[in-house]
Amino acid sequence: MTVRSVILEQITRVGEQQRRQLAPLTDSLPLLDSGLDSLCLAIIVAGLDDELGLDPLSASDDVEFPVTLGEFIKLYENAAA
Amino acid sequence: MLQPSRRSLWDLVAPEAASPTRFLADPQTRILVRDLADSTTLSAKPETLRGLSVMISTDRQLLTALALIELDGIARRIVLCTPDLSPAFVQSAMIDGEVDVVVTDGGGPTREVDHTLKTIRIGTRLRETHVTADRSVDTEWILFTSGTTGRPKLAMHTLTSLVGPLVDNPAAGRIPVWSTFYDIRRYGGLQIMLRALAGGGSQVFSSAAEPVADFLKRAGECGVTHISGTPSHWRRALMSGATASMAPDYVRLSGEACDQAILDSLQRAYPHANVAHAFASTEAGVAFDVRDGKAGFPAALIDAKGSGVEMRVEDGSLRIRSSRTAARYLGDVAPALSNEVGFIDTGDLLELRGDRYYFIGRREGIINVGGQKVHPEAVEAVINEHPAVSVSRVSARKNPITGAIVVAEIVLKPTATPANAEFQAIVEEIRKLCHDRLDPHQVPVTFREVPSIEVAASGKLVRPRA
């Protein structure tokens, strides 16, 4: 599975678990408009840490927080590379 | 301070008049209380310790009990070492407690400490002596606080504040035989021993080295009628499968928030016993006990008059003022123990639901999830309601989005030993239970099955600092 597909699956799963109505998951989708609140994002980030062993948002202090879903995925793809 | 009319522990124990069957027992030795009259177990005459500050450091709880009976009313101060105290804390307690003499069986935490203080040995062999009649010194009893994190503090009590007016003693149909999972060098255990000694009963001591099932069997053989421990102690007892080895009349829980699941489990294990839970702390003393079989306590106890213990809720936490609270902390840099009107902040947070208050956790244990507070104990109480769960521990996991998220560890009951797939099914049930009963940020993000959860020497769950 690619990093991208793991992330998309994680988002869908957490959205269901938290009973969230999610917007279509496109790369240009701003995370704040996705239907995920910060608790959902926190759960997704923890889940990705468990599944991929990657936590790029904690890895360094000066990491720029991703605005869109595409940037979020890119951050993880770069960390995995 | 001299108090000619003071009743010492020796007077309360009254060895001369003791019933021939009263005893003190640990796994190795049983001593009849009446044999303590006209005898000593110290290597020096108790009289030589008059007016001194004495540190008691023993491996065996029984020997600490014997030293207390002999020295209360003679020593100026008794510093009770808990067995797991680190050498650095022992050394600072020697200074803060102005200790003159160490009474030891060669064990206890002073064994690891280099010191030049005079040492007096104590054993179980009784030597005849002329026991002093003068026990008029109002001895200070110094106890280490039982916090699970940080440096223990030294709380100063007297026999009067420790024995207090023990109004919550259950009526005993037979001569009581008390026991406790607690170590008697801690407030919870000392309370029980003093009840036994002052109430004309016997005492069975636990031992850290003894497996739970063996302790329960020994308690049964000794005819234990009254027994206490923390909810963690009792969960271990239930997990041992050996609860039927004894048949107590009175089962008591204290020291940690007590949820409905553990109360119900104990009542099922001991259908004929009175299962009670109590609130007490080293600093605040015993505040109350609850015997209606329900978690929490009646709201009417708060601000009630005339019970000898006054309780308030301020900033969400329980405050206590009574004659059983400790007088102060010992040491140069010790913080104030109570506020200006004598109320002690227990740090235990309460929530009012209906006509009862429930303990929801410790102030220092709060998990902050994106600015919203989570009390681990409140979440554990929900998880523990699932019939397959034996015990759970909720803690914080660092998170770059919300600062922390909530995670849970679960020990399943021995009867429920599922393959991993079944554990996932149980987790989904627990998750649903949590979603139905808790706010979203309180629901654990992950549930991990663990074989056991560590219990500290104080009998409380070990909680990693959030």
The domain made up of B9-305+321-342 is a member of CATH 3.30.420.10: no
**Taking 80 as the threshold, does the pLDDT of residue B380 lie above it?**
yes
Residue in A closest to B403 by C-alpha? A42
Whole-number pLDDT of residue B466: 43
Task: For residue range B250-262, list pLDDT tens digits in order.
Answer: 999 998 888 899 9
- Partner B contacted by A32 (CB < 8 A): no
Quote the minimal CA–CA distance from A39 to chain B in Å.
7
- Compute the nearest-CA separation of B466 from chain A (Å): 17
Q: Which of A17-26, B214-223, B228-237, B413-422 has the highest mean pLDDT?
A: B214-223
pLDDT reported for residue B1: 45
- Which residue of A lies nearest to B428 if distances are taken between CA atoms? A17
For residue B342, the distance in angstroms to the closest alpha carbon of chain A comes to: 42
| pLDDT higher than threshold 80 for residue B418 | no
The CATH number of the domain holding residue A62 is: 1.10.1200
Residue of B nearest to A60 (CA): B400
Report pTM: 0.82
3-state helix, strand, coil in chain B (%, to 5): 25, 30, 45
**Strand order across the B317-322 sheet:** B297-298, B356-362, B344-353, B317-322, B309-314
Distances (CA, A) of B105 to A6, B43, B109, B237: 62, 10, 11, 29
pLDDT digits (tens, 9 = 90+) for B268-279: 999 999 999 999
Task: With CA atoms as reference, report the closest residue to B415 among B441, B435, B387.
Answer: B387
Least confident of B61-75, B371-385, B405-419: B405-419
Q: Which residue has the higher pLDDT, B83 or B458?
A: B83
Range scoring the smallest mean pLDDT among B144-153, B305-314, B342-351, B365-374 = B144-153
Q: Among the listed ranges A31-40, B184-193, B265-274, B456-465, which one has the minimum average pLDDT value?
A: B456-465
pLDDT, residue B423, reads 86
DSSP string, B238-277: HHHT-GGG---SEEEE-SS---HHHHHHHHHHSTTSEEEE
Instruction: Determine, for residues B402 and A42 on separate chains, whether the beta-carbon distance falls below 8 Å.
Output: yes
Among candidates A39, A45, A58 on the partner chain, residue whose Cβ is nearest the Cβ of B440: A39
Query: What was the pLDDT predicted at B283?
Result: 81
Write out chain A residues lying below 8 Å of B400, CB-based: 45, 55, 57-58
Q: Domain locations in chain B?
A: 9-305+321-342, 366-449
Question: pLDDT tens digit string along A53-68?
Answer: 999 988 877 777 888 9
- Number of domain units in chain A: 1
**How near does any CA of chain B get to the CA of A1, in Å?**
22
Q: pLDDT over 90 for what percent of chain A? A: 69
Looking at the predicted structure, is the pLDDT value of residue B39 above 90? no
CB-neighbour burial class of residue B196 (10 A; exposed 0-12, middle 13-18, buried 19+)? buried
For residue A25, the enclosing domain spans 3-80
Q: pLDDT band for position B165 (50/70/90)?
A: low
Q: Which two tokens stand for residue B321?
A: 């003022």
Chain B residues close to A32, C-beta within 8 Å: none
How confident is the prediction for chain A on average, in pLDDT?
91
- CATH architecture for the domain at B366-449: 2-Layer Sandwich (3.30)
DSSP class of residue B294 equals -
> Which of B401, B435, B439, B446 is the best substitution to test chain A (most A C-beta atoms within 10 A)?
B401
- Give the chain B residue whose CA is nearest to the CA of A58: B400
Residue B65 has pLDDT above 90, yes or no: yes
Rounded mean pLDDT of B334-348?
79
Query: Is the per-residue pLDDT at B442 higher than 70?
Result: yes
Half-sphere exposure of residue B438, counting CA atoms within 13 Å on the CB side?
27
Both tokens of B157, joined, read 């009590």
Tracing tokens 């003894």 back to the chain, one arrives at B210
pLDDT at B4 over 70: no
At B295, list the tokens: 């978690």
